[in-house]
Structure 1
Amino acid sequence: MTPSASPSGPATSTRRPNVLVFFTDQQRWDTTGLHGNPLGLTPVLDRLAAEGVSVDRSFTCQPVCAPSRASLQTGQYPTTTGVFRNGLPLPRDTPSLARSFRDAGYATGYIGKWHLAGDHTSGPVPEEDRAGYDHWLAANLLEFTSDAYETTLYDGSGAPHRFGGYRADALGTAAIDFIDRDRDRDRPFFLFLSFLEPHHQNSRDDYPAPTGYRDRYATPWVPSDLAALGGGNWAEHLPGYYGMVRRLDEVLGRVVSALERRGELDETVILFTSDHGCHFKTRNDEYKRSVHDASLRVPTVLRGPGLWGGVRLPELVSHVDLPPTLLRAAGVPVPPEMQGRSLLPLLHGGHGGDGGHDGHNGHGGDRDDAEWPQEVLFQISESEVGRGLRTDRWKYAATAPGADAWNDPRAERYQDAYLYDLHSDPDELINLVADPAYENVLEELRRRLVRRIVDSGEPRPTVTAHEPAPKAVSEDTV
């Protein structure tokens, strides 16, 4: 890819832009050069950011696959969609990106990992479970229908298509075929390209990079949180993980080149983001599902019409904000059910209002004069039932004692569980939740959390102070 956009962007077209989502799986924000990784893993993404917009502080709504994917398809929080954990299907009548773009005349396509058809299938996805996409080449659980060099995807008729070569390359080739296919040049496309990389290969708990790529990073740069925590399995898996990230960037370069060759690069809105991060078993016994930035924070870059200038956006941004941003950038109406807000006003001198959609719950209202929220709300499931806020300075979360983290989507009562001062402790190593010196901070954060929970559409819960676990009574004291 060669840079082609001027600081103010290329001349505008009267046709609506194409929209391409390049979606990775389990990719930390600090794998990218634009966030300080020194290994040169993402030169193409870094160039897109230099021409477009880097959402520097971008966070998933929930750090696990299906809930975060549901949010990206709908602009809604996981508990609003009903997909609050893995294994649950996206409701078939939910307003979605694909339906909005299709209704606006777009050719819509989905390629890769879906993970929103529930547990009834790992492979073919019934048409009614595809959220409105027309062109289809995907698997519900790509981790179980593929390996690094063996990939099976299913078309709209449910027929399998088997690909040789590295898995990310196969998906990239399928995307280029979609871009290059004969179509009305006056009809734009919306393509959602969803990878498994750099997620681990479930069948053997490994990070299978392309042949030779693991060796390139045999002595890897280690993020400071992993180095400080110790434990986990990052020492074993970072080389492969980085190799997977490097190959993803090369695939991104191929896709961008295909758009450039067709003369459509500057007429295409590109979003690069990931569903969640990865803490390499340093925070719990797997890779995500924790309140820490290693799980929540992801790289997010936008480029295209209305998204130029090499902007480093400082605001705290949630995944629910990305779907309305894509729709607004394409001039497509945002469904009132979407709970996020477009980023475009932030780039054009506004506060983040979206002219007719409420900033939190999508129930309507004038928010042109509303300030951008000073925190993002996140939800936790599967490991514990939790709700939390990420502000500029604080990471705060409350959990529900005794709740069933697999079956309970929410709770009536939460209690303080985590408090980190991100200014003095960016790696979230010291949990201050039981320190009485921070009671005033906790009191304010509790109020803000309750307000954001209600704004997200959930019933008002009770959030109480941390209660230490009772001390064990020994026989000597009885």
Structure 2
Amino acid sequence: MDDTSKQDSTHSIDRRSFIASSLAAGVALRSGKAEAQAARPSSRPNIIIYLADQFRADFVGANGQNPSTRTPNLDAMAARGTNFTGAICNQPVCSPSRSILMTGRYATETGVWHNARPIDPSLPTLAGELRKAGYSANLIGKWHLAPSTEAEGGGRGYVKPEQRGGFLDMWEGANEFEWTTHPYEGTIYDADGKEITFKDEYRVDFVTDRAERFLRQKHDKPFLLYVSQLEPHFQNVEHGTGHFVGPKGSAERFANPFVPNDLKSLPGNWQQELPDYYGCCEAIDKSVGHLMKVLEEEKLANNTIVLFTSDHGCHFMTRNEEYKRSPHNASIRIPLIVQGPGFNNAMRLDEVIGNINVMPTLLEAAGLPVPSSVKGKSFMPLMTKPEARSAWPNRELVQISESMTARALRTKDWTYCVLDVEGRREQEFAQKYVEYQMYSQAADPFEQVNLAGRKEFRAQAAELREELKQMMQAAGEPPAEIVPVTHYP
């Protein structure tokens, strides 16, 4: 080869090298830009958790069990998104259930195994994890995860920043909302403790107005917004159990409504309280519809996950001396409807899902890692992977406090509950339990016949007993003895 040929060959090789290196650089640059864009907080979905306190799952019309309920907006949400009809709470009382929702841990692990206890500040929370990824974390309404007395460093109203579980951006709430407000007047507090008052406006509408105000603001980062309504929870009173207060005229509009089958054969106060409860649920539905409209108007709807749920249900004093704190479906079944990116599947799933699984699910939906300490599991695979549905355990541990120290196992087929053998109510754990209640979900979904102690079900009870003991230990509880009951109560 002559010098000219060598030179041309060298130039050709150089040109090829340059083109190749340029292409590689371009790919790397584009890849880098793509990675940077993917990592940018603004590319992540906004998240709204809308929690309606003490809202029964069967009071959502889309769940097809209640002809009197009026929830067209929740029904539309269920039609667009995914309706998890087998959802339950892992502790049927306000503070413990909320602590589970925020941490993906059991109530005995969060420190909030009883109402009005502060959440363990060392635990990762949904708000904290999202803020680390560039989100703002914002709350409007009820918190109930700070100490309830000034002697403990807390109170019913203002909540100190270190007690907010990571909600360190906009804060407009009260620790015990049911005591600082009433249905048509009250006070909440901003991040600095300044009072925000309302009067002559229904409480649901007031909270909705504050949420709309937030959504219409300019947002330069993705947001988590926790809209925590009190309704349909009863209004607390100083003495007694409290009463439900719907918008004015509710009692007349919902007179003689449908009575759920789990209530109608049992004594309780549902006869007096159901009409206003229906009114409260209708007000919540209108609120949800209004905020959905705001999302559309602000062009936020396509990139916002909206999750509607409750912290527990309501049995209207049919199972114990108040409204919840029992293992029955009326207490533990909750609505769980999700729409938005990753959830718009027009799908209904009936797997048994505890609210312990909400926190890791939302982190996965946002493309974020789940802390290794979290006990809950994301249920996102249930929507896309048939093998995930077949492998889903369909069993949840329910811890019960205040009315009794009890533990329950809820599966698709059974509810199995054990009670502290000494009958104590204010214990975090018990060392010894006795079988207390057992219901067949297939044969008796309204839980009218307690099978605990029936001879023909002892083999099934023994199997459930061992499963429950294993789940209790997996939740970090000390080993406990469960005594079989041998008589039919």
TM, length-normalised to structure 2: 0.87
Counterpart among 258, 262, 278 of residue 242 in structure 1: 278
The answer to whether 1:99 aligns with 2:134 is no
Aligned to 2:244: 207
The answer to whether 1:371 aligns with 2:391 is yes
The answer to whether 1:83 aligns with 2:112 is yes
Aligned to 2:78: 49
Shift of 1:87: 2.0
Aligned to 1:442: 461
Aligned to 2:346: 310
Aligned to 2:452: 433
Shift of 1:351: 4.5
Aligned to 1:391: 411
Counterpart among 182, 192, 196 of residue 157 in structure 1: 192
Shift of 1:352: 4.4
Measured in 2, the distance between the counterparts of 1:309 and 1:183 equals 27
CA RMSD of aligned residues (A): 1.8
Shift of 1:196: 0.4
Aligned to 1:411: 430
- Say which structure is richer in helix: 2
Aligned to 2:178: 143
Encode CA deviations 1:22-65: one digit per residue, 9 max, x unaligned: 00111111111012221242110111110110001100011111
Question: How do residues 271-290 of structure 1 correspond to structure 2 at under 5 angstroms?
Answer: 271-290=307-326
The answer to whether 1:323 aligns with 2:359 is yes
Encode CA deviations 1:393-448: one digit per residue, 9 max, x unaligned: 11101111115322x11112212111111211111111111111111001100111
TM, length-normalised to structure 1: 0.89
Return structure 1 stretches of 4+ with deviation > 6 angstroms. none
Aligned to 1:17: 45
Question: How do residues 437-476 of structure 1 correspond to structure 2 at under 5 angstroms?
Answer: 437-466=456-485
Aligned to 2:289: 253
Measured in 2, the distance between the counterparts of 1:425 and 1:385 equals 25
Change (3 A) 1:63 1:157: same
% same residue: 41
Measured in 2, the distance between the counterparts of 1:240 and 1:342 equals 36
Question: Which runs of no fewer than 5 residues in structure 1 stay unpaired?
Answer: 1-11, 354-369, 471-478
Aligned to 2:259: 222
Asked whether the 8 Å contact 1:417–1:433 carries over to 2, the reply is yes
Counterpart among 433, 442, 447 of residue 423 in structure 1: 442
Q: How many correspondences in the alignment?
A: 439
Shift of 1:182: 2.5
Asked whether the 8 Å contact 2:51–2:308 carries over to 1, the reply is yes
Query: SS in structure 1 opposite 2:232?
Result: coil
Higher gyration radius (CA): 2
Matched AA of 2:170: H
Aligned to 1:3: none
Question: Which runs of no fewer than 5 residues in structure 2 stay unpaired?
Answer: 1-37, 150-154
Asked whether the 8 Å contact 2:360–2:370 carries over to 1, the reply is yes
Change (3 A) 1:337 1:162: same
Measured in 2, the distance between the counterparts of 1:132 and 1:193 equals 15
